């Protein structure tokens, strides 16, 4: 019930910090986690990814407040309630983010978080496996805990998507996590030897084998702060409220929803909001819970006239066969997340780096595992990467067991509508290329009759879904920035011996899926906590389209 470092949350950042803070054997580390075991095929089999995200035993089960610009729908807002956190229920897509994302962080006050500073941490955490599909190993790590590989690219639709992008006149890239993000190319996945390579498998389970690292299964109520410094954590287990003491620091890594909730319950947050709930104010930080961001996406679905999609396995017998093959050999369709090609594009001339992401999938299916009634099809998940809309996480009540109130205020900025309409029309353009000609049937969704701006807007309102990338609610920034919650070393401003490190600290949402930058934040925060000094900055120069001011198409080849 006592350790040098007490980490709240065993997710992407928390697991990385447990590993790094216990690595030299000098410090005791205790991880507090409410969720249960990550063992079992629903989590460990990559092909089963739609199951854990929709199972109450693995997910906190949060939903948003009614979203006023999306027909007042309440959207699912899953977060992992399991060892490994959301890295145990996510889609296993590995995206670092664009270099310019991190340079923007630094420019906005996150000193030392520019691309040249974070790239060495990405390299330290990775064990990248060259699959023969291209990529420059000098940009990648080779001996980190996190295995990163690519899918087999065996379904012809997966390669047709990349070829269609090239035919439409766009860049291709053989490694979007390397020098050049922009373009169509193969997708990286956190899968190793047929298993989901979550932060728990990469970091936490190895750390827990050390004598100085332990995990306590409990429900965190609040951080205990005495005379302006964090001294421990109030927890509940077995119906009893207990105290866990921290000799050195408390580190909150509980997600973009639960990290601000825990801070507010501890007296750190907007003073008026805390007072409304009868919570004594310890640090008036107006930014706690604010600046909430996410990626929204649409599924653009096309019928396939050839029966080569994954739909042919969408029956109990085939699923049983795939499951059995995976269980005994860790191979076959169950060993991939099926996201094997990707694209990052710019939406307009004058935009310096990509602001649209595609995930391509050789089946027409929803994230909740419901297949399109049409049968064989394929789809592209598409959405803008840098929405200007901002939401907030607030307290539902002062009761620690109540869920936080989550309001993204999706599509509240007019630019969101322009960007989303462009995404739909761009996807249609790509699907119309010759590469898809042997497979292309009719458009399942939105449907050929949905063409006008108004019709597209109606479709967006009814069908836009979260990509499950919440972040930003405990923003990192300069100490004199009133909206910042933590300083560039992840220390909560106004409270000693307390840090936050997870996706909640991102000042602005990075380009792509958030698992990789969340782990990177845990890796880098560990060096700040230990006072080690940072890894030497990188001098790698990322590729920027030479004609970005005038075109979105492929650069002229001299």
Taking CA atoms, 490 is separated from 112, 204, 498, in Å, by 11, 21, 9
Closest CA to 512 of 95, 103, 172: 95
What's the rounded Cα separation, in Å, for the pair 507 and 444? 37
Of these residues, 205, 469, 528, 545, which one is catalytic? 469
227 burial type by CB count under 10 A (0-12 exposed, 13-18 middle, 19+ buried):
exposed
Size (the chain), residues: 558
Q: Say whether 371 sits in a helix, a strand or coil.
A: strand
What's the rounded Cα separation, in Å, for the pair 333 and 252? 37
Closest CA to 120 of 487, 543, 499, 539: 539
Is 147 a residue of the active site?
A: no
Neighbouring residues of 395: CB distance < 8 A, sequence distance ≥ 6: 261, 264, 265, 273, 277, 279, 402, 404, 405
Q: Are 392 and 277 in contact (CB under 8 A)?
A: no
Residue 80 DSSP code: B
Name the E strands within 340-491: 341-345, 356-361, 377-384, 392-394, 405-407, 440-445, 465-466
Q: Are 535 and 490 in contact (CB under 8 A)?
A: no
Give the residue numbers annotated as catalytic, written as ranges. 469
């Amino acid at each position: 019930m006592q350790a040098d470092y007490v980490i709240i949350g065993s997710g992407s950042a928390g697991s990385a910090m447990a590993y790094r803070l216990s690595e030299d054997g000098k410090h005791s580390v205790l991880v507090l986690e409410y969720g249960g075991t990550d063992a079992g095929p629903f989590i460990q089999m990559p092909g089963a990814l739609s199951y854990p995200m929709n199972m109450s035993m693995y997910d906190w089960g949060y939903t948003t407040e009614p979203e006023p610009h999306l027909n007042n729908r309440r959207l699912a807002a899953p977060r992992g309630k399991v060892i490994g956190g959301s890295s145990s229920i996510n889609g296993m897509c590995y995206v670092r983010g664009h270099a310019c994302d991190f340079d923007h962080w630094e420019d906005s006050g996150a000193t030392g978080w520019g691309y040249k500073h974070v790239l060495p941490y990405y390299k330290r955490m990775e064990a990248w496996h060259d699959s023969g599909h291209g990529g420059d190993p000098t940009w990648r790590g080779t001996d980190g805990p996190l295995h990163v590989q690519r899918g087999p690219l065996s379904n012809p639709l997966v390669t047709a998507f990349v070829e269609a992008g090239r035919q439409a006149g766009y860049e291709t890239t053989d490694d979007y996590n390397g020098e050049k993000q922009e373009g169509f190319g193969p997708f990286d996945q956190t899968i190793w030897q047929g298993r989901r390579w979550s932060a728990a498998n990469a970091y936490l389970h190895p750390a827990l084998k050390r004598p100085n690292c332990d995990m306590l299964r409990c429900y965190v109520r609040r951080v205990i702060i005495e005379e302006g410094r964090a001294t421990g954590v109030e927890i509940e287990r077995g119906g009893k409220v207990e105290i866990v003491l921290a000799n050195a620091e408390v580190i909150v890594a509980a997600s973009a929803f639960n990290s601000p909730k825990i801070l507010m319950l501890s007296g750190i947050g907007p003073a008026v909001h805390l007072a409304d709930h009868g919570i004594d104010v310890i640090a008036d930080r107006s930014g706690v819970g604010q600046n909430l961001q996410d990626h929204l996406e649409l599924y653009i679905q096309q019928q396939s006239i050839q029966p080569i999609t994954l739909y042919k396995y969408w029956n109990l017998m085939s699923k049983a066969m795939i499951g059995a093959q995976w269980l005994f050999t860790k191979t076959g369709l169950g060993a991939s997340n099926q996201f094997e090609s990707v694209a990052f594009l710019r939406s307009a001339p004058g935009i310096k780096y990509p602001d649209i992401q595609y995930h391509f999938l050789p089946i027409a299916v929803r994230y909740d595992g419901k297949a399109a009634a049409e049968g064989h099809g394929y789809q592209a998940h598409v959405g803008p990467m840098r929405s200007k809309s901002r939401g907030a996480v607030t307290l539902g009540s002062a009761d620690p067991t109540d869920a936080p109130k989550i309001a993204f205020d999706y599509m509240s900025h007019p630019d969101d509508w322009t960007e989303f309409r462009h995404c739909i029309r761009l996807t249609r353009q790509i699907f119309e290329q010759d590469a898809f000609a042997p497979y292309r049937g009719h458009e399942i969704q939105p449907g050929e009759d949905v063409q006008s701006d108004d019709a597209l807007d109606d479709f967006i309102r009814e069908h836009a879904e979260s990509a499950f990338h919440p972040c930003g609610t405990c923003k990192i920034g300069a100490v004199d920035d009133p909206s910042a919650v933590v300083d560039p070393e992840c220390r909560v401003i106004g409270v000693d011996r307390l840090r936050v490190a997870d996706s909640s600290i991102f000042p602005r949402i990075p380009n792509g899926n958030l698992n990789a930058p969340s782990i990177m934040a845990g890796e880098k925060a560990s060096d700040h906590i230990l006072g080690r000094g940072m890894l030497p900055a990188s001098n790698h120069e990322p590729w920027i389209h030479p004609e970005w001011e005038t075109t979105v198409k492929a650069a002229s080849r001299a």
